[in-house]
Structure 1
Amino acid sequence: MRNTLRALRPVGFLLFSLSLYSASAAANWYEATGQAPIERGDINSARQAAIADALQRASLFAGAKVQSEQQVIQGILQHHQVTLSSAAELKQVQLLSETHSQNQVSITLRAHIIAEASRCRLQQRTPLQLTPIQLAARQDAIHGQLFQLGEHSTRQLARHLRDFTPAARLKVTEQLMLPEQLTAEVADALFADGQQFILLASINDLSLGRKLSKFWQSDSYERFFALELWLYDTYQRDISFQQEYRTGSQWPQQQATPGSHSMAFWQMPYGQKIDQV
């Protein structure tokens, strides 16, 4: 089990680097893009809402708390005020760009925000949401009845992330999510819920290979394993990391092999190889 430190190092190092970046990005200058719909042709109100959205995104990295107050009369925005927490100071805002498309205003700005030290320390732990590992290679799972390997691998990965990636504030969900489902709307909802990074994974190969045993030995075959990882950044609304890991080991061709829920499976040569990916 301890050998997984070496195998998980690429993801752990990436998350650690991201946490350092978010804690000290550009000496308190934070760049962000906000969006808002244009309703009833009111461009000015949409512009103010987009600025508020951009400031809220910048504040996540700064560790400040943003409060937004709106007054709406008969469906028209009459008053919109954005304030930072009393322990944070908004020194300066620079408007970088403004675009209008498809009844929507997009504002990109740079904000100089100084937040309280305690919030900055909390910001060093990067929010990470782990979704269930998808078992895409279900046709190969018939060998050993490994149809729950995705679920059990998710538990293993969550355990290792908690042990070896202290820079991440981990949240494990039960809802399966695919990369193509992470639209801008879904990313914004996750971002608003405080989730900065989403880790998705898929088991793409469990196939058997050539026979390894001699004629006087019990039958055993080479068995492959492939795991693809995606790290989605809800702040950037894009995949920031993608990698497929492959390995393989000996697989005994016998009637009964340990289930993937058991320690016996993870102590098999094949289970150990999976655990080290």
Structure 2
Amino acid sequence: MLRLCILLLSLYCFSAQASPLWVEAEGSATIINGDLGNARRSAVAQASELAALQAAAYISTTTEIQGGILQMDNLRMSSLGRLSNVEVIDERIQGTILKVRIRAEVSVDQGCPDGRAEVAYRKSLGFTAFPIQHPQQAATGALQNAATELPNLLARRLSHETGLHTILATHLSLHPNLQQAPTRQLADGTLTQATAHSETTQVHFLISGVIRDLSQANPIGPREPNVVTDLYRRLDYASQHHLRQFALDLFIHDALTGQLMFQQHYQTQGRWNAREKPLGFASAGFWQEDYGQAVERLIRQMSQEISEQLRCQAFSARITQTEGNRVWINAGSLSGLKPGDRLSVYRRQTHYDTLHQPYSELQNARVTLTLDQVEASFASGTLNTQTASSVNIQRDDWVRSH
């Protein structure tokens, strides 16, 4: 069999140091029920994807020829560029179609910090609830749904990233004590609860958070009315008196071991002129507020940093069965696996801390699994040893990409 691999790389004036490039692109979206805000976001998202592809894209064509007959011809395009400083430079409406033109700064991914290439396999992210530490602050504007809508928005953004698969589990909260969050080591019970709903697409990472602050500079509350002051503040919509905070802590845990991998505090503010209108978080009216636009920029930053943290992390899968030297795992072609792939085998060991709480540790077994049968959601292969039992490999152990 002859395999011909053709790689065309177009980097449009990029230097070896990945210097940024400004590009322009156009996107469009249908205006549904007069909702211009949602149409604008969809059009900008489409234009952003086109900008990234325009700036740095590759076409990988793999062709297999056997006996002079074409057996396979796969075409794949993937963006190598990351966008920042996106601005709309033109916007027009044609009938029910909104068209926007954006200008964005694009830089090319240069692989992982240690020089390794990015992991090609698809990793699953589980998004749990982002509870509000001070629920009374969410009353103004009816922003209580931020606890579930914020992780939903992050999951939706990251679902478009190459190599990431997002799963919503916003009915779960990983942090029973919000004041003391994060938990540096999730207990096995918490991990089981968070991942039990997803056997076929095993969650590799758990994304959680706590919304710390939704306070206003001058909250509306019971007081003696002052006609002059109230009228002035209502008319002076750009005043600092209308500022409202949005702050949260974001956490990423390894779903295999429960260990905290990443935490970051995010904070922004914007003018809140809706007063006591029950807009709800992430509604059309919310996004029209200066406060909503500030939150949207923060969500964009958060999604970029989550992607940056996880794109170079190893891919993992759980061992579901062993028989002799044959091993089955709960990941397959949907995760990017293919026959011939080699994965390292890890034993999962349970330890107990000083409070007798269990936690997991992965120990490299120094054994390799080579896949020879790959289905959509599972795969199997053979170990480079006589039997799995001879090296104490069993169900619920793990494999990881090299």
Q: Is the 1:221–1:253 Cα contact (8 Å) retained in structure 2?
A: no
| Contact preservation (8 Å) 1:156, 1:275 | no
Stretch deviating more after TM superposition (187-196 or 235-244): 187-196
Letter in 1 for 2:191: A
Structure 1 residues 177-186 or 126-135, which shifts more? Answer: 177-186
Among candidates 155, 159, 169, match of residue 156 of structure 2: 159
- Which residue of 232, 236, 242 corresponds with 1:215? 232
- CA drift at 1:225: 0.5
Amino acid at match of 2:204: Q
Identical amino acids, percent of aligned pairs: 24
1:182 and 2:186 matched = yes
Separation (CA, whole Å) in 2 of partners of 1:166 and 1:186: 28
Q: 2:164 aligns with which of 157, 160, 168?
A: 168
User: Is residue 136 of structure 2 the alignment partner of residue 139 of structure 1?
Assistant: yes
2:243 pairs with 1:239: no
SS of the residue aligned with 1:135? coil
What is the correspondence of 1:108-119 to structure 2 with a 5 Å cutoff? Answer: none
**Deviation of the 1:196 alpha carbon:** 1.2
Q: CA deviation at 1:6?
A: 4.6
Q: 1:128 to 1:251 in 2, by over 3 A?
A: same
Where do 1:17-32 residues align within 5 Å?
none
Q: Deviations over 1:168-194 (max 9, x none)?
A: 111111322224493134436749942
Rounded to whole Å, the distance in 2 between the matches of 1:202 and 1:221 is: 24
* Kept after mapping to 1: 8 A contact 2:135/2:144: yes
Residues 1:174 and 1:17: Cα distance change in structure 2 (over 3 Å): farther
Would the aligned equivalents of 2:142 and 2:279 in 1 still touch at CA under 8 Å?
Answer: no
CA spacing shift, 1:187–1:153, aligned 2, 3 Å:
closer
> 1:134·1:176 contact (CA, 8 Å) conserved in 2?
no
Gaps of 5+ in 1: 8-15, 25-120
Task: Answer whether contact 2:274 2:289 (CA < 8 A) is retained.
Answer: no
**After superposition, what is the alpha-carbon deviation per residue over 1:214-241, rounded to whole angstroms, capped at 9, x for unaligned?**
9372565110000211000023430000
Query: Which 5+ residue runs of structure 2 have no aligned equivalent?
Result: 1-40, 49-82, 86-110, 176-182, 220-229, 299-402
Structure 1 partner of 2:207: 199
Q: Secondary structure at 1:169's aligned position in 2?
A: strand
The aligned residue for residue 105 of structure 1 is: none
Letter in 2 for 1:201: G
Distance 1:177 1:249 in 2: 28
- Structure 2 distance, partners of 1:199, 1:258, is 26
**1:271 Cα offset (Å):** 1.0
> May I ask how many residue pairs the two structures share in their alignment?
169
Aligned-partner Cα distance in 1 for 2:279–2:84: 25
CA RMSD of aligned residues (A): 3.7
Query: 1:258 and 2:279 equivalent?
Result: yes
* Matching residue within 109, 117, 126 for 1:129: 126
Deviation at 1:250, TM superposition (A): 0.4
Q: 1:17 to 1:203 in 2, by over 3 A?
A: farther
Paired letter, 2:255? T
Partners of 2:128 and 2:174 within 8 A in 1: no
CA 1:21 to 1:197, structure 2 compared with 1: closer, same or farther past 3 Å? Answer: farther
Contact 2:140 / 2:278 at 8 angstroms: preserved in 1? no
Q: Higher RCO, 1 or 2 (CA under 8 Å, sep at least 6)?
A: 1
Distance 1:196 1:204 in 2: 26
Distance 1:241 1:271 in 2: 26
**TM-score, scaled relative to structure 2:** 0.36
Q: 1:269 aligns with which of 290, 299, 320?
A: 290
Q: 1:222 to 1:170 in 2, by over 3 A?
A: same
Give, in whole Å, the separation in 2 of the partners of 1:136 and 1:186. Answer: 20
Give the number of the structure whose residues are more often helix, by fraction.
1
The 3-state SS of whatever aligns with 2:294 is: helix
Amino acid at match of 2:174: L
Q: Residue type matched to 1:141 in 2?
A: A
Letter in 1 for 2:206: I
Cα contact 2:112–2:118 (8 A) shared by 1: no
